[in-house]
């Protein structure tokens, strides 16, 4: 506060004595620009614009570089004030000037800001799994310690085949149609090909690896669904690679040293953490891949689908305790010591989404929601004793219409995603994992990251952005599209 008051005092004094006039030299203009940049950081963007406008005439007659810097800061300042039209005008001018100067890194960066403000910085992912084809169209912005995703479209298209490769002799018409439907949705947003990611999930890849004849036919027929040769299907995703992409898309680089990722999926639980090396771009990923999720746990607990609900509850507690005792001691305490050094765990998956939605419906509008052991204990207890009460939360405290509408949609979606047996298995599994991660010496902070289930496509996008930047610098020219 003292710093802010001092800054404003000097700004007021200088405004009276000199800054009310246009800059008389480049040296004075640079002083204006420097102070304007500082004022943006203390939420004085309107004052920053005033200074930058006074600096601009002097830069125009003396330095193209400082003129570009001034235009860039004007664009950013107008963006602070939500004047998108003015922001785009100045930023586009700055980008052209940086390009003329061959300052390619600056030109590339400004170009990305322009794309984002123009709502053109969208990307899309299609994941072809054994039981469904998933589509996500979104853009990402950084909020607090996690990414906030602006989702334009999301779909989970059920695959009518038991598996993707069940009847390749008869063709893959249903899968081709589903893939084309996803591509048609992407086309409506004019997303460039290099920002469309199509992948075969690891479970499909592994099954096709066991069936070489089927693999060739599946690849050939899926490729026919693609409208042009510039779109490719990534068929190389391993379990560890999926975990790495999920972690990249769920956990921003800024907090890699303190935060790990964990996704409790339907067939597996994946995640991990990064160690950052000394040189820019260097990193090492340490993955976690457990072959247990809400669906696969139900299969293990009640393989014959013959248990009544009381018997299922008893068997679920026995099976998951046995899994916990056999898996977690070595894996989390011995093999992954780096995991214990990350005090925060960003978690995703339907079961954590269900906990947050059912227990804290008023938080439906938040990207990141803390999850405590007390929450998990209550969630587990209700799943085991009162499923009906758990899945019909009281929404009287949710007074914001937008939040209420969202939570109502979330509840409807969850009730179609998780039945009672899946909810019980997931609640017990979540409790076991959280206890394994936390010890008395190293307690953990767990945070539910909304939309983390599409983290893999964000990971692919962020890797592409990094590659674009590096190739731009290597080529010495602005990357355009």
- Which CATH number goes with the domain that contains 53? 1.25.40.10
Residues 294 and 340 grouped into a single domain: yes
Residues 273 and 404 grouped into a single domain: yes
Per-residue pLDDT of 334-346, as tens digits, reads 556 778 788 999 9
- The residues that bridge with 261 in the sheet, in sequence order, are 272, 346
Distance CA 308, CA 455 (A): 36
CA dihedral sign, ordered 114, 116, 118, 123: positive
Residues 44 and 191 grouped into a single domain: no
Burial 349-368 (b: 16+ CB within 10 A, else e): bbbbbbbbbbbbbebbebbb
Residues 315 and 445 grouped into a single domain: yes
Q: What pLDDT band is residue 276 in, cutting at 50, 70 and 90? A: confident
Among 100, 117, 134, residue at a domain's last position: 117
Per-residue pLDDT of 257-274, as tens digits, reads 899 999 998 888 999 999
Residue 481 is predicted with a pLDDT of: 41
Residues 283 and 158 grouped into a single domain: no
Domain span at 256 = 240-458
Q: Looking at the 3D structure of the chain, how many domains does it have?
A: 3
Question: What is the pTM (predicted TM-score) of this model?
Answer: 0.76
Residues 254 and 385 grouped into a single domain: yes
Residue 20 is predicted with a pLDDT of: 65
Residues 290 and 384 grouped into a single domain: yes
- Would 352 be classed as within a structural domain? yes
Residues 17 and 83 grouped into a single domain: yes
- Would 335 be classed as within a structural domain? yes
- Would 472 be classed as within a structural domain? no
Among 185, 220, 237, residue at a domain's last position: 237
Nearest to 447 by CA among 337, 311, 345: 345
The share of the chain scoring above pLDDT 70, in percent, equals: 84
Query: Is 71's pLDDT higher than 90?
Result: yes
Residue 422 is predicted with a pLDDT of: 96
CB 381: neighbour CB atoms within 10 A?
A: 12
Q: Residue length, the chain?
A: 481
What is the three-class DSSP state of 144? Answer: coil
Per-residue pLDDT of 350-361, as tens digits, reads 999 999 999 999
Nearest to 214 by CA among 200, 226, 194, 197: 200
Distance CA 37, CA 212 (A): 60
Least trusted range by pLDDT, from 162-166, 280-284, 312-316, 399-403? 162-166
Residue 163 is predicted with a pLDDT of: 47
Contact 377, 431 (CB under 8 A): yes
Contact 427, 351 (CB under 8 A): yes
Nearest to 256 by CA among 459, 110, 41: 459
Residue 378 is predicted with a pLDDT of: 97
Among 237, 264, 292, residue at a domain's last position: 237
Burial 186-196 (b: 16+ CB within 10 A, else e): beeeebeeebb
Residues 350 and 377 grouped into a single domain: yes
């Amino acid at each position: 506060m003292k710093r802010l008051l001092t800054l404003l005092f000097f700004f007021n004094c200088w405004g009276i004595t000199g800054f009310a006039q246009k800059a008389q030299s480049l040296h004075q203009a640079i002083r204006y620009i420097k102070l304007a940049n500082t004022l943006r950081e203390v939420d004085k963007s309107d004052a920053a614009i005033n200074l930058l406008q006074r600096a601009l005439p002097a830069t125009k007659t003396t330095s193209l570089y400082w003129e570009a810097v001034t235009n860039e800061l004007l664009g950013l300042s107008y963006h602070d004030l939500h004047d998108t039209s003015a922001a785009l005008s100045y930023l586009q001018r700055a980008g052209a000037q940086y390009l003329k100067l061959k300052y390619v890194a600056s030109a590339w960066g400004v170009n990305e800001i322009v794309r984002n403000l123009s709502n053109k910085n969208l990307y899309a992912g299609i994941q072809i799994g054994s039981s469904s084809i998933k589509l996500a169209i979104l853009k990402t912005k950084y909020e607090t310690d996690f990414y906030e995703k602006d989702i334009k479209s999301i779909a989970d298209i059920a695959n009518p085949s038991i598996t993707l490769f069940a009847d390749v002799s008869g063709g893959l018409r249903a899968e081709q149609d589903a893939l084309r439907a996803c591509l048609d949705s992407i086309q409506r947003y004019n997303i460039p090909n290099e920002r469309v990611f199509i992948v075969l999930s690891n479970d499909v890849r592994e099954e096709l690896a066991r069936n070489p004849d089927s693999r060739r036919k599946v690849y050939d027929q899926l490729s026919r669904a693609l409208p042009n040769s510039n779109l490719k299907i990534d068929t190389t995703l391993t379990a560890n690679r999926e975990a790495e992409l999920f972690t990249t898309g769920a956990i921003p680089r800024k907090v890699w040293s303190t935060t790990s990722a964990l996704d409790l999926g339907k067939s597996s639980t994946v995640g991990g953490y990064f160690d950052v090396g000394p040189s820019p771009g260097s990193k090492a990923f340490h993955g976690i891949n457990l072959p247990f999720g809400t669906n696969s746990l139900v299969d293990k607990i009640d393989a014959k689908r013959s248990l009544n609900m009381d018997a299922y509850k008893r068997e679920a507690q026995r099976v998951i305790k046995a899994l916990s005792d056999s898996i977690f001691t070595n894996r989390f305490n011995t093999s992954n010591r780096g995991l214990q050094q990350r005090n925060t765990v960003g978690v995703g998956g339907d079961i954590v989404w269900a906990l947050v939605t059912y227990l804290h419906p008023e938080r439906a509008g938040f990207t990141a929601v803390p999850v405590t052991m007390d929450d998990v204990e209550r969630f587990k207890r209700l799943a085991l004793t009162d499923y009906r009460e758990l899945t019909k939360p009281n929404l009287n405290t949710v007074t914001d219409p937008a939040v209420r509408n969202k939570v109502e949609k979330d509840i409807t979606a969850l009730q179609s995603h998780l039945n009672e047996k899946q909810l019980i298995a997931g609640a017990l599994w979540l409790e076991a994992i959280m206890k394994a991660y936390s010890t008395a010496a190293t307690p953990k902070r767990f945070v539910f990251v909304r939309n983390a289930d599409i983290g893999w496509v964000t990971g692919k996008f962020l890797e592409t952005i990094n590659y674009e930047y590096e190739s731009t610098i290597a080529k010495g020219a602005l990357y355009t599209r």
